């Protein structure tokens, strides 16, 4: 790990001011990606700005058909929340499948979404549930948030404060996990909003996306067998030691079918 300046601001304004004044700064949330990356000297920020000292960035509320989760809320809190389990059981189930106990008790929702790891779980929910990402500057629709590999709509110095998830009629999340890391080789979240189906996919491509071809079929016939004839193109899909692009395309359809079955 290279030398860096450490800051722990008490307010959002202080955090953004520190960011704008530094040469090559980075925000620290749960640190589940950043710390290992820095330890391997794959990242060398001049300044690390720890957001843990800022009040009001964690917590879960359910109101008006929306589950709002603070950006600093830990994965374990989402997984164990009775409010989340009652409103969107699939979201709690998704959070419970992230990594292991240590990761779930340190990692944060905002950190995961802002990082946009191609194999992270939450992005499938942000896209699949049509979430709204709130920052210290604006609101960003979930469909517009993820741009590319580790790239989002966030501007420099912008901080996620909370995420709103509309409550669906029902939803299900299915993933094919890497046996070591538990990252999603492919993960698919299907949400039913009073007969309108949304499908969010993670793990397959550089970032999370909606599977529109699968949505079209399921909006006509919400049956797993209806997906048999769907072709999932693998162009642009991830191709690495964990799975080929072709295999990931196959998994998208398989996980989607399992999610439909889980919907009941």
CA distance 132 to 126: 8
Chain segment 116-133, per-residue pLDDT in tens: 999 999 999 999 999 999
Phi and psi of 102, rounded to 5°? Answer: -65, -45
Chain segment 225-246, per-residue pLDDT in tens: 999 999 999 999 999 999 999 9
Residue 108: CB partners within 8 Å, gap ≥ 6? Answer: 29, 30, 58, 71, 72, 73, 74, 75
Q: Residue 144 has what pLDDT?
A: 98
Across 57-71, average pLDDT = 98
Domains along the sequence of the chain with CATH? 5-50 (3.30.43.10), 60-263 (3.30.465.10)
The length of the chain, given as a count of residues: 264
Q: Residue 131 has what pLDDT?
A: 98
Q: Residue 20 has what pLDDT?
A: 97
Exposed/middle/buried for 189, CB within 10 Å: 0-12, 13-18, 19+? buried
Q: Residue 98 has what pLDDT?
A: 97
Instruction: Write out the DSSP string of 122-174.
Output: HHHHHHHTT-EEEESS-EEEHHHHEEETTEESPPTT--EEEEEEEPPSEEEEE
Q: Residue 39 has what pLDDT?
A: 96
Give exposure, 77-105, as e/b (b: 16+ Cβ within 10 Å).
bbbebeebbebbebbbbbbebbbeeebbe
Query: Does the pLDDT value for residue 47 go beyond 90?
Result: yes
Across 101-121, average pLDDT = 96
Query: Does the pLDDT value for residue 264 go beyond 90?
Result: no
Chain segment 190-202, per-residue pLDDT in tens: 999 999 999 999 9
Nearest alpha-carbon partner for 109 in 94, 122, 125? 122
CB 53 within 8 A of CB 136: no
């Amino acid at each position: 790990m290279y030398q860096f300046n450490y800051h722990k601001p008490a307010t959002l304004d202080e955090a953004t001011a520190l960011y704008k004044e530094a040469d090559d700064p980075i925000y620290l949330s749960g640190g589940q990606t950043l710390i290992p990356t820095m330890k391997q000297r794959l990242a060398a920020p001049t300044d690390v700005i720890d957001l843990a000292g800022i009040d009001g960035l964690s917590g879960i509320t359910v109101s008006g058909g929306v589950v709002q989760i603070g950006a600093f809320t830990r994965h374990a809190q989402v997984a164990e929340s009775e409010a989340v389990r009652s409103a969107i059981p699939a979201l709690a189930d998704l959070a419970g499948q992230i990594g292991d106990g240590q990761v779930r008790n340190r990692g944060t929702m905002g950190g995961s979404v802002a990082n946009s790891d191609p194999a992270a779980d939450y992005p499938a929910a942000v896209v699949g549930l049509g979430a709204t990402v709130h920052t210290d500057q604006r609101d960003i629709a979930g469909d517009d948030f993820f741009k590319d590999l580790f790239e989002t709509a966030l501007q420099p110095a912008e901080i996620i404060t909370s995420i709103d998830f509309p409550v669906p009629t029902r939803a299900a999340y299915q993933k094919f996990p890497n046996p070591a890391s538990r990252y999603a080789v492919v993960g698919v979240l299907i949400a039913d909003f009073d007969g309108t189906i949304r499908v969010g996919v993670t793990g397959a491509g550089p970032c999370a996306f909606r599977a529109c071809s699968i949505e079209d079929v399921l909006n006509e016939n919400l049956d797993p067998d209806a997906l048999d004839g769907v072709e999932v193109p693998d162009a642009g899909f991830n191709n690495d030691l964990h799975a080929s692009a072709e295999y990931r395309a196959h998994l998208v359809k398989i996980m989607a079918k399992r999610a439909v079955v889980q919907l009941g």
